[in-house]
Amino acid sequence: MKYYMPVRLYDEKDCVVRHADDIANVGRKALIVTGRRSAFLNGAFDDLISALSSGGVSYLVFSEVEENPSTDTVLSAAARFAGEGVDMVIGIGGGSAMDAAKAIALLLRHPGAGLDYLYDPDKSPEALPVICVPTTCGTGSEVTGVSVLTRHDKKTKISMVHKVFPVLSLIDGKYLKNAPHSLIVNSSVDALAHLYESLLNQKADDYVKMTAFAGLGMWSLTRDVLTGKRECTDEDRSYLMRSSAIAGMSIAQSGTSIPHALSYTITYDLGIAHGMAAGFFLPGFIALAPGKERKEILNLSGFADTDELTSFIANASGGINIPDDELEKAYEKVRNNEAKMKSASFDIDEKTLRDIVWYMI
**pLDDT at residue 319 in the model:** 83
The domain tally of the chain equals: 2
52 belongs to a structural domain: yes
Do residues 135 and 199 both lie within one domain?
no
Do residues 334 and 283 both lie within one domain?
yes
Do residues 261 and 295 both lie within one domain?
yes
Q: What is the pLDDT along the chain (361 residues), one digit of tens a residue?
A: 899 999 999 999 999 999 999 999 999 999 999 999 999 999 999 999 999 999 999 999 999 999 999 999 999 999 999 999 999 999 999 999 999 999 999 999 999 999 999 999 999 999 999 999 999 999 999 999 999 999 999 999 999 999 999 999 999 999 999 999 999 999 999 999 999 999 999 999 999 999 999 999 999 999 999 999 999 999 999 999 999 999 999 999 999 999 999 999 999 999 999 999 999 999 999 999 999 999 999 999 999 999 999 999 999 988 888 999 999 999 999 999 999 999 999 999 999 999 999 999 8
Instruction: Show the DSSP H helices in the chain as ranges.
Output: 15-18, 20-26, 38-41, 44-54, 71-81, 95-109, 115-118, 181-199, 206-220, 223-226, 234-254, 258-270, 274-280, 282-287, 291-300, 306-317, 324-335, 338-341, 350-357
**Domain containing residue 141:** 8-175
Domain of residue 85, CATH code: 3.40.50.1970
134 belongs to a structural domain: yes
Q: Under a CB-based contact definition with an 8 Å cutoff, are residues 93 and 176 in contact?
A: no
Give CA–CA dist 240/222, Å, rounded.
Answer: 7
* Domain closes at, from 137, 153, 175: 175
Do residues 218 and 240 both lie within one domain?
yes
Do residues 325 and 191 both lie within one domain?
yes
294 belongs to a structural domain: yes
**pLDDT at residue 318 in the model:** 86
* Domain closes at, from 175, 196, 218: 175
Do residues 100 and 204 both lie within one domain?
no
**pLDDT at residue 320 in the model:** 87
3 belongs to a structural domain: no
Q: Under a CB-based contact definition with an 8 Å cutoff, are residues 202 and 326 in contact?
A: no
